Structures are given as C-alpha cells and as structure tokens.
C-alpha cells in the first residue's frame, strides 16, 4: 500500500472530521484571477435532493467579494485542516459547486443553525435554539445575507497520524 493510500481518510473519518471542526477556508476565483480565500463558520446538512451527504452550508453577506466571485464562477475549493507537528497534520480538501440561496426563510434558518453550533465550547451540547436577542440578531442580518450550499465534486484527504510518527 502506498503512503498516499495509508493516509487517506475513509468516508466515516471525513464525516467525523467535518463534524468536529468549525471553520472552513473557502477559496473562490477573484475578479483578477487570484484565489480569494476567506474563513467561514459552517453546518452540515443532509441534502434534500437525495444526493450524497452531508453537505456543508455557510452564510455570508450577499455583497461580499466571495458571493460576487461565485455569481461569476460557482466553483469553490474548501479546506479544513488540523494539527501542529507534521505527525499530527490532517485535512480535507473539497472541490465544490456552490448553490447560492437567497430565500429569507432559508437564510434565517441557516444563520440560526450556524450560531447555535458555534455558541458553545467544543464538546458541549448546543442549546435547542437561540435566546431572544440572538434570534433578533439573526432576523436583522438575514435580509443582508445569502446561504451557500457546497456540493462536493471531488475530495482529497490526509491524516499523518496514521503514519505512526514516521515519514
């Protein structure tokens, strides 16, 4: 077995890794051709179209550069990584087509999911919903935002911990 095959994550390992992280780096093609990279909070949702899942969703301001880029070219590359020392490094890169959702109810519901997921320390159970002031903040922001649904087309993954400290 090649080292590349040894360090590749299984589907279950990828799903666990995506569920454990909170921030994804999203790369889109900028207007001058340079990659435009930005961090995003995200949630995972089972797709409603029967496709493989779960899918990563994020929200962002409708007037942001990343949305302008996606309107021009709906492709993005996502990267999640973790680890400090070489033997601890692991990550997942997803090449995706991105669907932009502008429906207010969809965007507001997504914003609430994202805030609930990120409102508590890692390892803690998220609350059932947002308190009143959190909900008011989401309702105020939702009209200015869009939802981004990332539809995976290609994946690469690595987990150097599988090498047992050797290179």
For the cut 80, the answer to whether the pLDDT of residue 165 exceeds it is no
Residue-wise pLDDT tens digits, 77-100: 999 999 999 999 999 999 999 999
pLDDT digits (tens, 9 = 90+) for 96-135: 999 999 999 999 999 999 998 887 777 777 666 666 777 8
pLDDT at position 134: 79
By DSSP bridging, strand 145-159 and strand 55-61 are antiparallel
Task: Set out the domains of the chain in order of their start, with CATH numbers.
Answer: 3-163 (2.30.110.10)
Question: Which neighbouring-strand residues pair with 60?
Answer: 146
pLDDT of residue 24: 98
Is a pLDDT exceeding 80 seen at residue 154?
yes
What value does the mean pLDDT take over residues 64-71? 98
Give, in order, the Cα–Cα distances in Å from 116 to each of 45, 120, 150: 14, 8, 20
**Angle, in degrees to the nearest 10, between helices 132-141 and 104-118:** 130
Residue 2 has a pLDDT of: 86
50 pLDDT higher than 90:
no
Cβ neighbours, 10 Å, residue 23: 12
What percent of the chain is predicted at pLDDT more than 90?
75
**pLDDT tens digits along 2-26:** 888 899 999 999 999 999 999 999 9
């Amino acid at each position: 077995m090649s080292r590349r095959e040894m360090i590749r994550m299984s589907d279950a390992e990828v799903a666990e890794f995506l569920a454990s992280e909170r921030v994804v780096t999203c790369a889109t093609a900028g207007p001058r051709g340079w990659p435009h990279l930005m961090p995003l909070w995200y949630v995972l949702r089972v797709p409603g179209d029967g496709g493989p899942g779960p899918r990563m969703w994020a929200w962002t301001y409708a007037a942001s550069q990343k949305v302008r880029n996606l309107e021009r070219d709906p492709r993005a590359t996502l990267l999640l990584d973790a680890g400090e020392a070489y033997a601890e490094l692991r990550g997942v890169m997803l090449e995706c087509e991105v669907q932009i959702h502008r429906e207010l109810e969809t965007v507001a519901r997504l914003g609430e999911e994202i805030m609930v997921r990120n409102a508590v320390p890692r390892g803690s159970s998220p609350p059932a919903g947002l308190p009143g002031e959190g909900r008011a903040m989401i309702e105020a922001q939702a009209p200015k935002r869009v939802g981004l649904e990332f539809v995976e087309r290609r994946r690469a993954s690595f987990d150097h911990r599988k090498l047992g400290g050797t290179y």
